[in-house]
Amino acid sequence: MQRTLIIGGTFNPVHFGHLRLAEEVRKSLAFDQVQWIPCHVPRHKCPKGLLSFSLRLALLQAAVEGETGASVNDIEIRLPSPSSTYQTLQALTSIDPDTDRHFILGCDEFLRLHEWYRGRETISLANWVVAGRMGLDVDWFCKSVETAWPGCRPISPPKGSLAAYKFVSGRRAVLLQLPRLEVSSSLIRERWLSGRNLDELLPQTVLELLVAHRADADATWAKDRRVLPAGHVA
Ligand code: ATP
C-alpha cells in the first residue's frame, strides 16, 4: 500500500518553511509520496487577502516541480465551500480507499483538531503526523492528547519520533520534533507589500511567478494588510 504524506494549508503563498517541513517529515518517516492540498475556501483565514485558488495552486506547482514523488491536488475546488479537512479526507478516501494517508499538522493545530468542523470524525479518516517545535514538552503533549481524545492509548513510537498514539478508530498519530524556519506566509505578504527582498523565504520559481502576477498580489494582499509587531525578525 502506498504511504502518502498530505500537507494542507492556505499557501498564500507557499514558502521554504512549508517545503522544509514536508521534506523533513518525508525523510524521517519514509513516505513514498507527498501530496500538497491547497485549501479552496478557508473557514477562518484571510477572507479578503487570499490570492485566487488558481494562483496559489500554480505557485505550489512551481515550488514542487521536478521533485520526485511530489504532487499538488486541486480536489478542494470540486467540493462544497467552505472547505474542510473532514470533507477533503472523505473525498480522497472514496476516490482511492487503498492509499495509507498521513496528514501533517503543527502541534497546536493537532491539539485543537477535536474542535474543528466534524473534528471527532476527521481523526478517523487518516493517520496524523504532528510537527512539534524543538524544546516541546512531550509530557504536556501526551497529557493534552489523552484529555482531548478519551480512549486513545500510547503506543511504541516509530524510530526518530518522540511519542505515538492509537485512537479508538485504530488511526494513529506520531509526534516528531522538527526545526522550524522562521518564515510564514504573513511575513512574506508583509515584506512583499513593503517592497522588501524575499529571496531567502521562497523558491526562485515561486518568486518569478509572483512577480508575473504582481498586480494581483499587490491588490489582494493590500486588502488584508496588518502591521507586524515591532522587533519581528524577518
Ligand atoms: P499564514 O502566515 O498566512 O498564517 P502559514 O505560513 O502558517 O500562513 P499555512 O498555509 O497556513 O502557512 O500553513 C500550512 C501548514 O504549514 C500548517 O500546518 C502550518 O503549521 C505549517 N507551517 C507554516 N509555516 C511553517 C514553518 N515556518 N515551519 C514549519 N511548518 C510551517
Give me 37's grid cell: 492540498
186-230: pLDDT as tens digits: 999 999 999 999 999 999 999 999 999 999 999 999 988 754 444
**pLDDT class of 152 with cuts at 50, 70, 90:** very high
Give the structural domain span for 192.
185-222
Does residue 154 lie within any of the structural domains?
yes
Q: What is the pLDDT of residue 226?
A: 59
pLDDT, position 196: 97
Nearest CA to ligand 1 atom 6: 184
**155, 190: one domain:** no
- Whole-number pLDDT of residue 1: 83
pLDDT at 234: 36
The percent of residues in the chain predicted with pLDDT above 70, rounded, is: 95
Nearest Cα residue to atom 21 of ligand 1:
18
State pLDDT tens for residues 90-100. 999 999 999 99
Count of domains observed in the chain: 2
CATH number of residue 11's parent domain: 3.40.50.620
The whole-angstrom separation of Cα 74 and Cα 53 is: 9
Q: What is the mean pLDDT of residues 139-150?
A: 96
Determine the distance separating the centroid of ligand 1 and the alpha carbon of 149, expressed in angstroms.
24
Say if residue 9 is in the same domain as residue 52.
Answer: yes
Pocket of ligand 1 contains residue 92 by CB under 6 Å: no
* 96 domain residue, yes or no: yes
Q: 231 in a domain, yes or no?
A: no
Are 127 and 87 within one domain?
yes
228 CB near ligand 1 (under 6 Å): no
Residues 101 and 194 both lie in one domain: no
Task: Give 173 Cα–ligand 1 centroid separation in angstroms.
Answer: 19
Is residue 198 located within the same domain as residue 98?
no
88 and 193 inside one domain = no
Residues 106, 28: one domain?
Answer: yes
- H-type helices in the chain, by residue range? 16-29, 53-64, 85-95, 107-111, 119-122, 138-148, 185-193, 204-212, 214-222
* 35 shares its domain with 149: yes
Same domain for 173 and 103: yes
Q: Are 42 and 83 in contact (CB under 8 A)?
A: yes
Residue 4, ligand 1, Cβ within 6 A: no
